[in-house]
Amino acid sequence: MRARLSTIFRLQELGLTVVILVLAVILSFTARQVDPSTGKTINTFLNANTLIQMATNASFFAIMAVGATMVIITAGIDLSVGSTAAISGILMGVVLNAKPFAHLTGMDALILGALVCCAIGVLCGFLNGVMIVGLNVHPFIITIGTLWIYRGLAFVLSGGQSILVPTSLTDFAKAPLGLGQGLYPVPMLFMIVTCVLGTIFLSRMVAGRRVFAVGGNVEASRYAGVRISRVLIGVYVISGLCAGISAFLAGSFYGAVSSNDASGYELYVIASAVVGGVSLSGGKGSALGATLGAILIVLIRQAIQTLRWEQNYEWIIVGAAIIVAVVVDRFSRQLAARKA
């Protein structure tokens, strides 16, 4: 029993979970308002509508954060995830509105839309990985370049206009699943499934252990027979796939896609991963941590709204959280090195 408790308390996600719970408790007490029509005190935070809406908002960049975490574990970075999501969504809208497919409805339109988004996301991630490995250029340079390229292509293909998607996609993303009117848990379920699959991949599969090996020590991995280029390309493909899935969900949920979709998500994705415990030096991170990091960021956003602060405080707090997380990670690494 003691061994199990010791394992639990060593989990890097435990501290993040405690912070989330504490912040949720604080919001539960502060988010109380008097309903002018009934005169009763209501809790604007602790109710099903608010909680599921927060989970929905978190899911769109939490899914991307899981893929980005795998990239960062290899000591890389993917700044193009938001632009990858934008071009994936735009091409889904273009294809579904093209003459050969405009008549599709129901499951046919749903499957085609999902395939297009995932395929474009995988292609963008593959191009990122191939250029990073083939040109031997730092991932920061390549992905900041593709950030502009993918976003520009999305603008050109859409003409700067929003593109509607078939209602069957919206019906899927906004399916209440028996929870009642106005409650849409589908994006949240996708976030949970992505987190679980990411955790299984990183902790239970050989390919996941190779990701940690490459991030921990590239030369040792090379001498051990690990194909470094295959691992690096693979993590960028996964990151692109996660961006494509997020684009499909967001476009379906809101009923339209735009070249400005997921704009600025690079900050949220990287912040979710870093706050969730991933090390920018590589070799450390988890899918669960990235998901919890995204939930914490949404809670911070909700707290700002509840306290009626200016929205700019969100950027200040998130930026400060990134700096603190990086400093803590560096300090813990130095402490571990001294003990060794």
User: What does the pLDDT average to over 129-138?
Assistant: 95
The per-residue pLDDT for 337 is 65
pLDDT, tens digit (0-9, with 9 covering 90-100), for 236-294? 999 999 999 999 999 999 999 999 999 888 889 998 998 888 988 888 889 999 999 99
CA 89 to chain centre: 16
Phi, psi angles (nearest 5°) of residue 68: -65, -30
User: What does the pLDDT average to over 315-319?
Assistant: 80
Asked whether the predicted pLDDT for residue 55 surpasses 70, the reply is: yes
The per-residue pLDDT for 12 is 67
pLDDT, tens digit (0-9, with 9 covering 90-100), for 89-115? 999 999 999 988 878 788 999 999 999
Q: Are 60 and 238 in contact (CB under 8 A)?
A: no
Q: Please, which pLDDT band fits residue 157 given cuts at 50, 70 and 90?
A: very high
The per-residue pLDDT for 106 is 85
Asked whether the predicted pLDDT for residue 332 surpasses 90, the reply is: no
Q: Please, which pLDDT band fits residue 2 given cuts at 50, 70 and 90?
A: very low
The rounded percent of the chain whose pLDDT value lies above 90 is 55
The per-residue pLDDT for 7 is 47
User: What does the pLDDT average to over 60-82?
Assistant: 95
The rounded percent of the chain whose pLDDT value lies above 70 is 92
Asked whether the predicted pLDDT for residue 8 surpasses 50, the reply is: no
Name 32's bridge partners: 43
Which residue stretches of the chain are H helix? 2-10, 12-30, 48-73, 81-97, 106-135, 139-158, 167-173, 186-204, 206-216, 218-223, 228-254, 265-275, 287-306, 312-339
Distance CA 257, CA 334 (A): 46
Q: Are 32 and 42 in contact (CB under 8 A)?
A: yes
Q: What angle do CA 292, 247, 45 make, to 5 degrees?
A: 40
The average confidence (pLDDT) of the chain is: 87
CATH architecture of 58-331: Orthogonal Bundle (1.10)
The per-residue pLDDT for 9 is 42
* Residue ranges of domains in the chain: 58-331
Does residue 24 or residue 212 have the better pLDDT?
A: 212
The per-residue pLDDT for 185 is 92
Q: What is the pTM of this model?
A: 0.90
User: What does the pLDDT average to over 23-40?
Assistant: 75
Does residue 60 or residue 333 have the better pLDDT?
A: 60
The per-residue pLDDT for 77 is 95
